[in-house]
Every structure is written in C-alpha cells, then in structure tokens.
Structure 1
Amino acid sequence: MPRHLSKLSRHSFSDCHVAIQWTILLICSVMFITFLEIIHLSAALLLGAMCAAILVAVMEGSIRVPRWPFMLAQGVVGSMIARSMPLPIIKEMMQEWPLFISGVFSVIVASSFLGWLLVRWRVVPGTTALWGSSPGAALTMTLMAEAYGADVRLVAFMQYLRVVCVAVVASFVAQIWIGGNHAPPAIVWFPSLRILPFLETLMLIGITTPLARILRIPAGAILLPLGLGVLLQDTGWLSIELPPWLLAISYAFVGWSIGLRFSRAIVLYAARSFPRILGSILTLILLCGGLAMILVKIAHVDPLTAYLAASPGGVDSIAIIAASSPVNMPFVMGMQTVRFIVVLLTAPTIAKFLSQRK
C-alpha cells in the first residue's frame, strides 16, 4: 500500500500544472538559499537553486529551463568572471609567473591523477570523473562537460561537493589562523546602478550569446563574454556592471537548469559513489595543503595566504574568505585566476588524453 501511495504521489506531482511546479521550485529555492546564506556558505544562490531543482526532479517534475534564458544566464556568469580579473591581478601573475605556473600545474596534475583513478575504478562512467575532478571553475567545467559528452549531472555533483568541502575547510583554517567569526558582509541587492556601464554589459551579453550559438563553440555562451569582457575591461573600453539581483537571477537559472536534469536513478547512483568521490576530494585538499607548505618555504608568504592560494577552488568562495582575512589578496587571487584560466584551456585535452588510458 505505501508503494502504491508513493507511486500515486509521484504521478500526481508530474501531472501538476507547470505553474504549480514552478511555484514549488521557487519556494524550495528560497528555503535552501536562505539556509545556506545563514551558515555563510559561498555560492549559496547557485547551490540552493540546484538543490531545489534536484528535489523537484526526483519528484518527477516535468518543468525545464528554456534554452535562451539559460544561455543568457551563462553570459552573465561569464561577464562576472571577467570582472574579477582586473589588471592588478594580471600584473601580479606576470611578476611571479614561474611560481604561479609550477603551483598551478601541481594542483592540476594531482586532480587529474585522482580523476583518472576514479575512471579506472569505474566509480563514474566515461570522462565524467575527469571533468568532475577539475580543480576550480566549477560552474564553467559543468557547462563545458556537457558540450564534450560527459554526464553533466554527475559532473555537477562532483564539482559542487568539492566547492562545499573546500569552502568549509578553508573557512575553518582561516578562523583558526586569525580567530573570531569572519562572516562575509551583507549583500546590498539593489545598489545604485551606473546606467551606461550596465547597458554596455547587457550589450556584451546580448551580442556574445547568439554569436556562441551561431559559431557552435563548446560552452561559448560563458567563454565568449568572459574572454571579450577581460579584453574590453583591461583596455578601458568597458566597465562591467552587474547588480547582485541580476547575478542572483542568473545563478538561479543555471542551478535550476542543472538540477532539473537529475532523476531518481542518477541521485541513487551518486549516493553509491559518494564515499569514493568524497575521499578523492579530501585527498586533493590534503595535497594542496602540502603545496601550501612548499609555497611558504619558497615564496616566503604567510601560511594562510599560501593555503588559500593553493586551495582547489572555487574562485568565488576563496575570494570571499580571503577578503575577510589578513592575507596577500593579489597573490591568492593571482594563483586562483591562473589555475582557472589553465583549467579552462586544458580540461578538454586532459579529459580526452586520460580517458584513452583507463
């Protein structure tokens, strides 16, 4: 009888009007996001929306995010990443490029090896483990993975489990090092808006989104505004203006799009793989901690700066923690940014190369 009632419940929810399903998704999203914001978890907007969408998908909801809102949301995210790469960070990278490159490639080699082990042990299928193990650029790797044929749902599961683990461990380390409770500042959702830069930013997104579709560039909806935004911003032609409310909407659309692709079967599969995936993530965090000790000896930076610089992503969570800590911010963001760029450029090649040697 309970099985019959469960079956009826799932059938009833899938038959609900789409307006009711969207309302449930919105309510659940607000609840998850509020909880994650209360505990000061970075990427709460994205993760909260994704968790709510997974819940709706497991209940066999039938709603989906339309293609164009999803692509425009990716354009906003790409512009946001471009805004976080100003000239001071680039100058910091140029001055100490041997140190940055060696540190970055050490993390990439370690994460790629752990991903290859997951592939070899058949923890997750195909190249999914390699994309899911990429150290940083969680959202971009998730979006790019789909374009290269990996299971975007499992990639998202692996990437955002890593984001949560890294954020929790890095916050814990920072609080131990400096003491006290350093919560991120409250978000002003509707600040005063610079109209012209905002319109120019919307124009960048509006031009690059259809262009990415026409040119069929893998993950072009996020990569085109990212690359063009960095170029225009650092040459003085564009000042990227993205109000928090627009980022919140975009993160929600991306989180919903990924989460609604889940199913009960894929959630059960991810649960069975959880111990080994978590073990891989914790191993990577420990290896990056060892790299931080080497940076302390070679670069003569303080341990907290070295640890945050070596942490395997994501850039946004580390930036929030670093901003509220007494660290060398350009060094931290320089290392994180270099790794982000290298991961973007090398991930497809690494995934293809290692998948042929499983």
Structure 2
Amino acid sequence: MKNIYVDWENKWIRLVWTLVMLVIGGMVFVLIHMPIPWLLGPMTAVFITSRIGKIKPYWPVQLRNVGLIIVGYTIGLSFTKEALIQIVHQLPSMLLMTVIMISFSAVFAILISKLTGVDYPTILTGCIPGGLSQMITLGEEIKGIDLTIVTFLQITRLMMIIFFVPLLVASPLFSAGETFDLSNGAGKITSHWAELSPTILIFAVICIIFAFLGKKAKLPTPFLLGPIIGTAILNIGGVHGPSLPTSIMDISQLLMGGYIGLLLKSDQLKNKAKTISFSIISGFVLIVGSLGLTLLLVKMHHVSPVTGFLSAAPGGMDQMGIIAHEVHANLSIVTGYQLFRIFFIFFIVPPFLKWFFKYFDRKRLKI
C-alpha cells in the first residue's frame, strides 16, 4: 500500500484545518457558556494551535473583511435620526473621554518606558488605545521606533480587551440590576432566514460598494466604516434593512476571531518576559481606567453602565460593536464614541506625535 502524501504547507489544507479548529473552539465556548463564544472561542483556538501544532493556521484577511462588512451593516441599522441627534449632543463628552484616555495612556507610557528601558516614543506609540493599524503605520513612518514592540503592545492590549471586556460585562458588576438600553431598537435579531426581506440584497450591494469606496478613500477600518455609512444613509433615508439571523452574526464573529487569534507573534520580540508582562499590565490599567470613565459618562448622560463601559473601553469599534449588539446596549452611542476616538486618533494624534517626537529628539540631543 502506497503512502499518502499530504502537503501541510498547502494554503487550502491549512485553511480547512484552521476552519475546523475555529468551529471546535466556538462550540467549546458555547458549551461552557462563555460570552460571545463565536468570537472568543475561535480566537483562543487558533491562538493555541498556532503555537503547539505542526500545521500552521492560515486565515486570510479577506475572510476577516467579510465579517467586518456584516458587523458594519448591523451597526449601521442602529443609526436613526434620533440616534444621530443624541450623538451630536454628546460630541463634547466624546472629545473629553478621548483626550482623558489618550493622556492617561501617555502618562502610563512614561512609567513603562522607565521600567523596561525601551525609549518613550516606542512605548507611547504602542500604548495609544483604539488605533491598532494607524499606530503601526505611524511606527513605520517615524525613524527609531521599534515596530515589533509597538505591534506587540497594541495587539496584546486588543486581545486583552476583546477577552476580558465580555467577561466584565457578563459579570455581576454590570449584569446585577442592569437595564439594557433598547431605545434605539438595536440588538434585535431574528433566528429565521425566512424573515429576511428582499431589501437585504440592496443593503448587501451598498455595503460592499461602500467598503471598497472606504478603502479607496483610505478611511480607518474601511470594511467596517464603509458599510456603517452606507447602511446609515439608507436607514435614515427611509429604507429599512432587516435584522440578521443569529447564525450570520455567529459566522461574522468566527471570521473575525480567526484573524485576531493569529495577530499575536512574539518570535522577534526582545526581552520577552518583561515586555509581555508590561503589555498585560498596560491592558489591565487601561481597562480599569475605562471603568472610571464609565462612571463619569453614566453621571453626565444617564446611559446604562454597560453602554457607558463599552463606549469608554479602549478596544476596536468592531469588537465593541459585537459585544454591544449581544448585550443589547445602545449600539449607536457605543459606536459613536468608538468612531469619534478612531477619527481623532486617525487625523489628530499622528501629526501631534510626529511633532512631539521631533521635539523629544531635539531635547535629548541637547542633554
């Protein structure tokens, strides 16, 4: 009998293997009743198998982008005229929260820099919350930045937020006596494919078009932001799209979880133990800081604690949007705060940091 040769380096074989691992991870997390199991389960499964298995997982960014489009559509449905008016009224608060969070990160970066011996510009670039792709791009543009450390700090924080925020939201800290915001109608989902109306085809085309337009316009996270904008325009214009079945939302989470789980790579990292320790501490401190901002937001605008926390949490808009959808928080408010921070980081932070780093270098040379 001839030996059967299997090319484990083949991308299609690796893709199928990865998909099996993602499904198993999701099912395990469903069985143990973890929050948002189809995001956390696949993320954990592919993270583990990429380090202990002989087959290298493969999950292309295009599949992640499909998941982002689905989430973007869901978020876009929450944008109504009333929701936009509410968001406009809270713009000063959005600016305040963003400035406080970034300032808090900048001060904490001084401590990490002194304890690790890594230069301050590198640590600061790695500690700015909510701007993973933008900060990595900025690190590539600025001379002297250690891009490996920046990427590791950003991704470690992101993974900590994605994993621990759902656990916090599901804990008695938020669930005890919690009345979730349902005023905007967001978070309602249908479990039957038959309930999807033909207008879903219109929204599907619009979401895809706006995703690629967003990419061409170089918007931050275009495959998420583009569908949000396209869906919101139709929704506010009077064309209302149907809510998606739970199975589609689960698939979108799986598609994103597989990609996120492969992001964290420590092969080229110097002083691994120290850097990993401070990366975890940094993520923990930012979560604690966002809890403090939650109290301020609840007092200022009387939103529910879970809505306030997800609005202030230093994670990505896509992940916070998924969690907000799952717990029936006010999705438009959460997205509004996260979106404001993304644009602030995208347009305001990089020019300021470039100026600051030049000033920092000149001052250091004088010393």
On whether the aligned pair clears a TM of 0.5, the verdict is: yes
2:155 matched residue in structure 1: 156
Q: Aligned-pair RMSD on alpha carbons?
A: 4.3
Partner SS state of residue 192, structure 1: helix
Q: Give CA deviations for 1:264-317 in whole Å, capped at 9, x if unaligned.
A: 616997765333223223323333333344456555677777656645452432
**Is 1:45 equivalent to 2:38 in the alignment?**
yes
| Structure 1 residue 346: Cα displacement | 1.4
67, 76, 79: which one pairs with 1:82?
76
Pairwise mapping of residues 37-186 of structure 1 onto structure 2 (< 5 A)?
37-58=30-51, 59=53, 61-62=55-56, 64-66=58-60, 68-99=62-93, 101-111=95-105, 113-114=107-108, 130=125, 133-135=128-130, 141-142=131-132, 149=140, 155-172=154-171, 173-177=173-177
Q: Distance in 1 between matches of 2:45 and 2:269?
A: 13
Partner SS state of residue 68, structure 2: helix
Give unmatched runs, 5+ long, in structure 1.
1-11, 136-140, 180-184, 324-328
1:138 matched residue in structure 2: none
1:353 matched residue in structure 2: 352
Q: Give CA deviations for 1:137-191 in whole Å, capped at 9, x if unaligned.
A: xxxx445556655666653332121232233233320245569xxxxx9986544
Aligned AA for 2:43? M
| Structure 1 residue 83: Cα displacement | 2.5
Q: Could you tell me whether the CA contact under 8 Å between 2:174 and 2:305 is conserved in 1?
A: no
Give unmatched runs, 5+ long, in structure 2.
141-146, 180-186, 361-367
Q: Distance in 2 between matches of 1:280 and 1:309?
A: 19
Q: Higher relative contact order at CA 8 Å, sep ≥6: structure 1 or structure 2? A: 1
Q: Distance in 2 between matches of 1:124 and 1:81?
A: 39
| Structure 1 residue 199: Cα displacement | 0.5
2:183 matched residue in structure 1: none
339, 345, 353: which one pairs with 2:337?
339
| Structure 1 residue 66: Cα displacement | 4.5
2:228 matched residue in structure 1: 226
Q: Give CA deviations for 1:60-103 in whole Å, capped at 9, x if unaligned.
A: 64564446444444323322332233334323334455445434
Q: Distance in 2 between matches of 1:13 and 1:351?
A: 47
Distance 1:17 1:294, change over 3 A: closer
Partner SS state of residue 169, structure 1: helix
Q: Distance in 2 between matches of 1:198 and 1:240?
A: 7
2:184 matched residue in structure 1: none
Q: Distance in 2 between matches of 1:270 and 1:14?
A: 33
1:290 matched residue in structure 2: 292
2:15 matched residue in structure 1: 22
Structure-1-length-normalised TM-score:
0.70
201, 204, 207: which one pairs with 1:202?
204
| Structure 1 residue 55: Cα displacement | 3.4
